[in-house]
Amino acid sequence: MKGMNKNYPMVDIFKFIAALMVMVIHFRPFSDINPSLDFISAQIFARLAVPFFLICAGYFMAYKDMRKSALKLLKLYGIWSLIYLPIVLIGATYNQTAWGTDLLLIVRDIFFQGTTLHLWYLPAVIFAIVLISWLRRFMDLRMILILSFCLYGLGLFTDGYYGLLSNIKWLKDIADSYLLIFASGRNGLFFAFPFLTLGLFIHETDVLSRITLKQAWIGFAFSFMALFAEVMVLETFARPFDYNMFLSLIPLAFFLLTIGLKFDIEERPIHLSLRSMSSLMYFSHMLVFYVLMTVISGLGLWVLFANSLLRTILTALATIWFSKFVIKRANKGKKLSKSLY
């Protein structure tokens, strides 16, 4: 396979930044400072993070046995679900939600929404890998990509483009019925499938050879401006249901991956660490947040968590430390630590 032994340091750097951007979405660092800055950072700028993770997963999936990759992700999902289970149960009891008693809700979350806020990513990627593997038995990759984009188009109306259905009752009823059952279009079929397929398509075709690094930067800049305009127009005239899926995210993720693959910098050991850290930071940041919140509350230092920016910075620093600690243990041969990423 082409480039099988090649690493891409800039991609690893972008992944690390993407993990920090996920924290921006979840912790809203500017919510106490300025509403406009909060919205732009969390609902526009940071929304590139997950599509970038997904398109990278698709690109590098070509190097791996898909069946083994799916099984590894399934194991990872099980481990992190068990880690978060006490927090989920405590939250369900405290908030008197149905999660602890409604079997259908539990099944839905396990397969579609994830066992906690951010773990939806794992079942979504597993589903997309299985679907791509199955479709490749009788479909050309280009046709699979077209199919995935069509599904992404449908998924838009359960997310960023939901507000456009307000005057089309029968379509809105369909979208509402879907959301009542599945809660979100952010799943393996509508969201992970298109970006993983695009990443795989980039790897298996010569599309990158037609684009220079300069053109990729220009494409990224225009795509980002398009995303900003797209979100602001929808926010003004057709309020989104959520902010995960927008048309501009497709070219934006494409050009960012292209930059990462083409930007040639000297490889250093830290880049491999950043690759592992980005995964660990994504999976662990909510755990670190809850532990940190409990400790700070117990010490009577709640003032440290009262400010949104300080809260985010403390959690990010603690998450980075935790990720480095786990990697250090994994490098010493600790199997439990290695199983976390």
Task: Report the distance separating Cα 193 and Cα 262, nearest Å.
Answer: 24
Among candidate residues 225, 247, 267, the one where a domain is terminated: 267
Among candidate residues 267, 302, 333, the one where a domain is terminated: 267
Do 149 and 60 sit in the same domain of this protein? Answer: yes
- The residue with greater pLDDT, 217 or 273, is 217
Question: In the chain, how many H helices and how many E strands?
Answer: 15, 0
Q: What is the pLDDT of residues 300-338, one digit of tens each?
A: 888 888 899 999 999 999 999 999 999 999 988 888 888
Q: What is the pLDDT of residues 166-205, one digit of tens each?
A: 889 999 999 999 998 888 999 999 999 999 999 999 999 9
Question: What contacts 74, CB < 8 A, 6 or more positions away?
Answer: 122, 126
Residue 89 banded pLDDT, cuts 50, 70, 90: confident
Among candidate residues 226, 249, 267, the one where a domain is terminated: 267
pLDDT computed for residue 304 by the predictor: 84
Q: What is the pLDDT of residues 106-163, one digit of tens each?
A: 777 888 888 788 999 999 999 999 999 999 999 999 999 999 999 999 999 999 999 9
pLDDT at 7 over 90: no
Do 54 and 27 sit in the same domain of this protein? Answer: no
pLDDT at 1 over 90: no
Do 67 and 27 sit in the same domain of this protein? Answer: no
pLDDT computed for residue 94 by the predictor: 65
Do 103 and 165 sit in the same domain of this protein? Answer: yes
What percentage of the chain has pLDDT greater than the value 70?
A: 95
Do 307 and 280 sit in the same domain of this protein? Answer: yes
Do 199 and 273 sit in the same domain of this protein? Answer: no
Q: Taking the CA of residue 252 as centre, how many other CA atoms within 13 Å lie in the half-sphere pointing to its CB?
A: 24
Do 178 and 292 sit in the same domain of this protein? Answer: no
pLDDT computed for residue 93 by the predictor: 67
Q: Round to the nearest angstrom and report the end-to-end CA distance of the chain.
A: 24
| pTM more than 0.75 | yes
pLDDT computed for residue 51 by the predictor: 98
Do 261 and 339 sit in the same domain of this protein? Answer: no
Do 79 and 210 sit in the same domain of this protein? Answer: yes
Do 295 and 183 sit in the same domain of this protein? Answer: no
Task: Report the distance separating Cα 204 and Cα 249, nearest Å.
Answer: 21
pLDDT computed for residue 110 by the predictor: 81
- Split into its structural domains, the chain has a count of 2
**Domain coverage including residue 335:** 1-40+268-341
Do 193 and 119 sit in the same domain of this protein? Answer: yes
How high is the mean pLDDT of the chain?
A: 92
pLDDT at 293 over 80: yes
Contact between residue 14 and residue 260 where contact means Cβ atoms under 8 Å apart: yes
Do 272 and 259 sit in the same domain of this protein? Answer: no
